[in-house]
DNA sequence: CACTAGTGCAA
DNA sequence: TATTGCACTAGTG
């Protein structure tokens, strides 16, 4: 499974099982029927006389695949990634899933009740402004009210009608009270349905904790993903979000410690591009967004305003995503011309970044793939094709993949290193800090409170020294009784 | 029940 | 026409 993922991390075009079959040269039916396709239930439901057959087929197929993948991995220089990162990570993830995270259900339920009241009041206001009752959660019904009945201007279309997305409603909010109310309604409704209502339901009655799945073979860039429940998208930015995170707590006499790679993708950009100015900024441990702002706006570092810094921050992130002038203009609420000027100034200053991005695209067109620091590949067959829409999309993803993917490589390696090479049999003899969550550039641990200081130092060191780049890696950490305090 | 569309949360 | 994910609700078949 993991070898198949490394050899072809695209999830959108075809499933891993089909890919495995392709390598195996067997018909889908045989494999699906024997080791379980869509209709495969729990092992116990398989008739006893067939169990041996299933087990044999599964083992045989796995072994056959291994022999094929071994050569394939070697040919594509993926052996180190496979053996040093992804395979050892399997156990780390298993431990994390089994450990789970403690959640204070009562706290979430209380928030839920408060939200229910706010929603009720907002619903009343919205119906009053609309002049009728309807389902606010239905974009279709809402669109009819806003854009047909109330004749508000439709600013964006979807496949099926007029968009009621937050970006549209924000533009209408100052003129139309109902738009502002709906935005507020959506915020609360989202938090209530996805977090305060759903999470308490997911608490395992046996462990009294929530056990997510960390999916290792899903993301095309090499990142992990999390599901059932997704613990990688717990609110963080708003005050209400912090309240949700206050419900993620440590056991009695323990604390949560959160370790966060600071600006890891921009540091990787600095490393790959070897841009002198970017490297200097990170070597000096400067505020990278402020530095970028001072360069773009040609003001001294100390004179950068918060607005300028915010704009520079958007540009810095935009670069990582291959953003164009139009979307920069949109998110900064400035003209396209002005946005283009910012981008031009950015590249005038970070000259080597432009060269690097161009070289990524050249390489992708020539070889058909891009690579991370550890050689993880992502293929872009459409990048040399004629369809400009697909090509542009591929170009942006090709710029992003080495940066996002290298960050994934690095944190995965750090996770393996933290876990150490302890054999399973010695697991209970050795004190290993309990890793409970990974959120792309962040690791969360639960440790006895007397160990907080020691563990903070040792894990920060491991994470910062896991690889030596042309710029230092910086890790910030915090601890507390809840994820809100630690983060 | 399976699936899609729209929407919105995270890094 | 800014990357990568997952989940919720509505709506369709």
Range scoring the smallest mean pLDDT among A161-165, A413-417, A420-424: A420-424
Domain edges within chain A: 2-76, 103-201, 213-264+411-486, 266-406
Cα–Cα distance measured from residue A177 to residue A179, given in angstroms and rounded to the nearest whole number = 5
Average pLDDT score over residue span A324-343: 95
* Residue spans of beta strands (DSSP E) within A193-349: 209-210, 213-215, 225-227, 248-249, 254-261
Q: Which residue is nearest to nucleotide B6 (CA to C1')?
A: A139
Diameter of chain A measured on Cα atoms? 78
The arithmetic mean of pLDDT across residues A22-27, rounded, is 68
Our measurement of CA A286 to C1' B4, in angstroms, reads 47
pLDDT band at A114 (very low <50, low <70, confident <90, very high): very high
DSSP string, A305-330: -HHHHHHHHHHHHHHHTT--HHHHHH
% of chain A beyond a pLDDT of 90: 84
The reply to whether the CB atom of residue A241 sits less than 7 A from any atom in nucleic acid chain B is: yes
Q: What is the pTM of this model?
A: 0.95
Q: Which CATH class is domain A103-201?
A: mainly alpha
Q: Which of residues 72-91 of A touch strand B (CB under 7 A)?
A: none
Interval A51-90: pLDDT, tens: 787 778 778 888 888 899 999 999 999 999 999 999 999 9
A444: enclosing H helix or E strand: strand A442-448
Note whether A235 and A487 are within 8 A (CB).
no
How distant is C1' of C8 from CA of A348, in Å? 44
First and final CA of chain A: distance in angstroms? 33
- The confidence band for A197, taking pLDDT boundaries of 50, 70 and 90, is very high
Do the beta carbons of residue A103 and residue A247 sit within 8 Å? yes
Q: How far is CA A151 from CA A131, A374, A429, A486, in A?
A: 13, 55, 70, 47
Task: Answer whether residue A326 shows pLDDT above 70.
Answer: yes
What nucleotide is nearest A237 when CA is compared to C1'?
B10
Per-residue pLDDT at A38:
41
Q: Is A239 exposed, middle or buried (0-12, 13-18, 19+ CB in 10 A)?
A: exposed
Q: pLDDT per residue over A115-131, tens digit each?
A: 999 999 999 999 999 99
Q: Residue A458 CA to B1 C1' — how many Å?
A: 50
Q: In Å, how far from its chain's centre is CA A368? A: 25
Find out if CATH 3.30.950.10 is the number for domain A266-406. Answer: no
Beta strands in A125-228 (DSSP E): 209-210, 213-215, 225-227
A287 or A66, higher pLDDT: A287
Strand order in the sheet with A434-438: A434-438, A442-448, A254-261, A475-480
Nearest to A245 by CA among A254, A237, A255, A235: A235
Write down the pLDDT at residue A376. Answer: 98
- Mapped onto helix, strand or coil, the DSSP state of residue A303 is helix
> What tokens were used for A311?
């704009």
Q: Which nucleotide C1' is nearest A140 CA?
A: C10
pLDDT in tens, A290-319: 999 999 999 999 999 999 999 999 999 999
Give A139 CA → B4 C1' in Å: 14
Which residue lies nearest C10, CA-to-C1' measured?
Answer: A138
In this structure, whether the domain defined by A213-264+411-486 belongs to CATH 3.30.565.10 is answered with no
Q: In the structure, how far is the CA atom of residue A374 from the C1' atom of nucleotide C3, in angstroms?
A: 20
* pLDDT confidence of residue A58: 76
């Amino acid at each position: 499974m993991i070898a198949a993922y490394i050899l072809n991390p695209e999830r959108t075009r075809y499933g891993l099982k089909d890919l495995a079959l392709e390598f195996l040269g067997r018909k889908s039916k045989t494999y699906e029927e024997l080791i379980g396709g869509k209709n495969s239930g729990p092992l116990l439901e398989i008739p006893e006389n067939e169990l041996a057959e299933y087990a044999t087929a599964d083992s045989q197929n796995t072994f056959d695949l291994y022999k094929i993948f071994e050569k394939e991995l070697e040919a594509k220089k993926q052996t180190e990634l496979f053996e040093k990162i992804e395979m050892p990570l399997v156990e780390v993830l298993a431990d994390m899933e089994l450990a789970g995270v403690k959640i204070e259900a009562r706290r979430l339920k209380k928030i839920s009740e408060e939200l229910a009241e706010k929603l009720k009041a907002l619903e009343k206001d919205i119906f009053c402004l609309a002049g009728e009752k309807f389902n606010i959660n239905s974009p279709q019904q809402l669109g009819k009210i806003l854009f047909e009945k109330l004749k508000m201007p439709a600013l964006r279309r979807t496949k099926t009608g007029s968009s009621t997305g937050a970006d549209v409603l924000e533009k209408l909010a100052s003129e139309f009270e109902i738009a502002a109310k709906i935005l507020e309604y959506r915020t609360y409704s989202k938090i209530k349905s996805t977090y305060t209502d759903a999470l308490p339901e997911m608490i395992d009655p046996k462990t009294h904790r929530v056990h997510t799945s960390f999916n290792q073979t899903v993301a095309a860039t090499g990142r992990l993903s999390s599901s059932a429940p997704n613990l990688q998208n717990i609110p963080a930015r708003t005050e209400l979000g912090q309240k949700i995170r206050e419900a993620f707590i440590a056991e009695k006499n323990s604390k949560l410690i959160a370790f966060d790679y600071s600006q890891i993708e921009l540091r990787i950009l600095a490393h790959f591009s070897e841009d002198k100015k970017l490297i200097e900024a990170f070597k000096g441990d400067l505020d990278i967004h402020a530095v970028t702002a001072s360069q773009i706006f040609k003001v001294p570092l100390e004179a950068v305003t918060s607005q300028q810094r915010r704009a520079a921050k958007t540009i810095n992130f935009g670069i990582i995503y291959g953003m164009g002038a139009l979307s920069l203009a949109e998110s900064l609420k400035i003209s396209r011309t002005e946005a283009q000027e910012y981008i031009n100034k950015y590249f005038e200053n970070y000259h080597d970044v432009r060269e690097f991005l161009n070289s990524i695209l050249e390489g992708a067109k020539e070889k058909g793939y891009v690579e991370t620091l550890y050689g993880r590949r992502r293929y872009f067959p459409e990048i040399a094709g004629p369809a400009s829409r697909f090509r542009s999309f591929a170009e942006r993803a090709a710029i992003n993949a080495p940066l996002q993917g290298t960050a994934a490589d690095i944190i995965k390696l750090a996770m393996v290193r933290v876990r150490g090479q302890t054999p399973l049999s010695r697991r209970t003899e050795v004190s290993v800090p309990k890793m409970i969550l990974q959120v792309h550039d962040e690791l969360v641990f639960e440790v006895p409170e007397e160990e907080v200081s020691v563990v903070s130092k040792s894990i920060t060191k491991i994470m910062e020294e896991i690889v030596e780049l042309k710029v230092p890696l910086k890790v910030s950490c915090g601890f507390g009784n809840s994820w809100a305090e630690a983060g």
